[in-house]
Structure 1
Amino acid sequence: MQLTRSWYVVEHSSAVPAGSVRRLDFHGQAFAIWRALDGTLSVVSDRCPHKGASLSAGRVGEEGLACPYHGWCFQSDGHCAKIPAQDSAQAIPRRAQAFSLPCRESVGFIWIWWDPSAESSAEDLPPLPTVGPVPEDDDRGWRALEGSVEWNAHWLRVLEAFMDLTHAPFVHSGSFGAMAPDQLMPVEQWAKDDSVYERVLAPRDRHYRADQGRGLRAWFNQGDDQSSSVSSDDGGEQHIQLWLANVSLVRVVFGDFQISLLTAHVPVDGTKTRNLWRHFRSFLRSPLADSNARGRVDRFMAEDQGTVETLRPLIPDLDGHGDLLVASDVSTLALRRMLREKRDAGLFR
């Protein structure tokens, strides 16, 4: 099940530095993401039109992306600019072109416009979703980490999991969910403009800072004017939002103590999803705390993965025949209603 004519995040921007190329597996197809020496980003089919070699195994040089088999060179728009074995006076065949996808960059991610019918003109594309708030990369008030993990689950099941509040006391009982009440209903919820949002009141995880600071607090406090001021409030807020096609943001706010987890749920194929995450923290910003922070993200992801990979049917039934949803599934209901509207508009295949 694919949502078409939509923007998808497919990779971290940092994963494709200038002069590099890497393979992208997306909705069961293979693409090559490459960045020219001048920084121009491109996403093309991972197949050379000459004899079918993998372009993601090629190399990037002054003349573009060179096929590893015969050195055909492709420009950022997918057109072949050079065939080394052919006399320069000969015209390059019109079919010597790699199928390209429109791509953009925002919030540290690479986005592609997915329209397999190729009916969309690059000039007529809608803007990227306005994802945020997310700290800027050069904001010294935050420390950022990023990573990825692949789950054996359909991307819609994964997307729903990141909007599901009521599973926290059970799936995450060994971590942050131990502080959550069984009845965890949002105090604010809405769905509009291809986005679903909810806000929930949440207790403070009193062990988080202690765990990160144990044995190293003196080092972490250097140059961190916020880490020594711990609010006495017992409560804070969680803000959870998703943007179609495949981005979610979880923000935990306890005054000076703030964490954001921005995740893109990339559909590798019908049974696998690659979660690309960016984690931001406003406290203990020294790199010395990175290992602990990364471990907590890995643990959170692993807890969800163990359950989500067991869900059946593999693909959620948008009409509600497969799952028995109740009032507490308010955001899941809103998301599925939004997806049904997309399906009825002919945007699923």
Structure 2
Amino acid sequence: MTADLSPALLEQWYPALLSSELHDKPVSTMLFGKQIVLFRTSKGVHAFKDLCIHRGVPLSLGRVENDELVCAYHGWRYNGCGDCVKIPSLPVERAIPDKAKASTYSCIERFGLIWICIGSPKDSVPAFFPYLNEELKVVLMGPYELAAAGPRIVENFLDVSHLMFVHEGLLGDSRFPEIRDYRVNEEVGLLRTDEIVVFQPDADGRGTSMNSHYVYEVYGPFTAALIKRNPDNDEMFHLFLMVLPMTEQKSRAFMLKARNYDKEAPDDAFIAFQDTLIEQDRVMVENQKPELLPLDLQMELHLKCDRMSIAYRQSLKDWGVTFGTA
């Protein structure tokens, strides 16, 4: 499977798990159809291929003991670097075979999430992290399990013209559906729209109507952001979407919201608002046909308001992304 993935996918960081989901036992997750085991030691978090090289049993069935991952089948013990350091059935005078290693992946823990990269990371942290500065209140939302292809989820997030219908009364009003023309600007490693004006009856769950100014950004195949600004004051937030593409038609989505207002307010209302939006989007992305995102622009009809979607699809093609696309 890894050999079929483009470098643009292999070099990215993906949110695999909430930090709160990983305690003293190993946990299995999936990325691009590959089973991965995550575990925690006194030195931090670790990610291995979820397979013991001895007899093919998932390492996630084992346990963590003395900072070592212990296979449940024959007790083989692996340190945090993937080296097998003990084989109980091997006489003590015999050396552990050099091949006795687990396949390891890069793994970090930031902002309440555990991130993995199955290739050589392009950056030491996910590309959008510089926007999460100390002046903003950062709220983690999700995870959201969706029976949909990762690119479909990202494109739905970037689709400004669905707000007035799927999220009517919250993010839009069907009496004001018009989207004025905008451009998509391409920079090094980034797609960004011009500001798009959208009337919103309840812009972020606080019951306030306004003309919000939107800017959409794409940082990679499965990471995007919405920057929403209130032109009447200095209020703004970044809403980051990060998708873990588990299989071609099953994904786990996480979101981070970084706001510069109501910093002392409880986060529950903001989280509940986003939960509602995701459930409304679920109906669409889990029922779209074809299930995989078409990269051939002739397969569907596009309007000028779809320019960000068009640019995203073109970037996926340029990046050589075939996972989750048609």
TM-score, scaled relative to structure 2: 0.84
Instruction: Report what 2:248 is aligned to.
Output: 270
Q: Does 1:135 align with 2:126?
A: no
- Gapped regions of structure 2 (runs ≥ 5): none
Q: Quick check: 1:7–1:111 contact (8 Å CA) kept in 2?
A: no
Instruction: Report what 2:107 is aligned to.
Output: 103
CA change 1:205–1:284 in 2 (3 A) is farther
Give the CA deviation at 1:314. 1.1
- Gapped regions of structure 1 (runs ≥ 5): 116-121, 214-229
Instruction: Report what 1:225 is aligned to.
Output: none
Instruction: Report what 1:173 is aligned to.
Output: 168
Write the distance in 2 (CA, Å) between the matches of 1:168 and 1:52: 47
Q: Does 1:126 align with 2:122?
A: yes
Write the distance in 1 (CA, Å) between the matches of 2:203 and 2:308: 27
1:151 to 146, 155, 171: 146
User: Aligned to 1:167, what secondary structure does the other structure show?
Assistant: helix
User: Aligned to 1:43, what secondary structure does the other structure show?
Assistant: strand
Q: Does 1:253 align with 2:229?
A: yes
Write the distance in 2 (CA, Å) between the matches of 1:178 and 1:103: 43
Read off the aligned partner of 2:122 and give its amino acid letter. Answer: P
Q: Quick check: 2:17–2:115 contact (8 Å CA) kept in 1?
A: no
Give the CA deviation at 1:307. 0.8
Q: Does 1:164 align with 2:159?
A: yes
Give the CA deviation at 1:181. 3.6
1:22 to 7, 16, 27: 27
Read off the aligned partner of 2:163 and give its amino acid letter. Answer: A
Per-residue CA deviation, residues 80-113 of structure 1 (Å, 9 max, x unaligned), is 1112333332211222221122334555544433
Give the CA deviation at 1:305. 1.2
Q: Does 1:75 align with 2:79?
A: yes
Per-residue CA deviation, residues 293-319 of structure 1 (Å, 9 max, x unaligned), is 211010111111111111111112212
Write the distance in 1 (CA, Å) between the matches of 2:152 and 2:112: 24
Q: Quick check: 1:16–1:34 contact (8 Å CA) kept in 2?
A: no
Note the aligned Cα RMSD (angstroms): 3.0
TM-score, scaled relative to structure 1: 0.79
Give the CA deviation at 1:44. 0.8
Q: Does 1:192 align with 2:190?
A: no
Q: Quick check: 1:190–1:197 contact (8 Å CA) kept in 2?
A: yes
1:239 to 206, 210, 215: 215
Instruction: Report what 1:224 is aligned to.
Output: none
Q: Quick check: 1:161–1:308 contact (8 Å CA) kept in 2?
A: yes
Write the distance in 1 (CA, Å) between the matches of 2:109 and 2:289: 34
Aligned counterparts, 1:288-299, within 5 A: 289-299=266-276
Read off the aligned partner of 1:280 and give its amino acid letter. Answer: A
CA change 1:339–1:145 in 2 (3 A) is closer
Q: Quick check: 2:13–2:126 contact (8 Å CA) kept in 1?
A: no
Write the distance in 2 (CA, Å) between the matches of 1:110 and 1:266: 11
Give the CA deviation at 1:171. 1.3
Q: Quick check: 2:237–2:258 contact (8 Å CA) kept in 1?
A: yes
Read off the aligned partner of 2:245 and give its amino acid letter. Answer: P
Per-residue CA deviation, residues 44-81 of structure 1 (Å, 9 max, x unaligned), is 11111122222123222324211223321112222211
CA change 1:140–1:61 in 2 (3 A) is farther
Q: Does 1:90 align with 2:68?
A: no
User: Aligned to 2:278, what secondary structure does the other structure show?
Assistant: helix
Instruction: Report what 1:303 is aligned to.
Output: 280
Write the distance in 1 (CA, Å) between the matches of 2:181 and 2:5: 29
User: Aligned to 2:48, what secondary structure does the other structure show?
Assistant: strand
CA change 1:283–1:186 in 2 (3 A) is farther
Q: Quick check: 1:316–1:323 contact (8 Å CA) kept in 2?
A: no
Q: Quick check: 1:10–1:110 contact (8 Å CA) kept in 2?
A: yes
Q: Percent identity?
A: 23
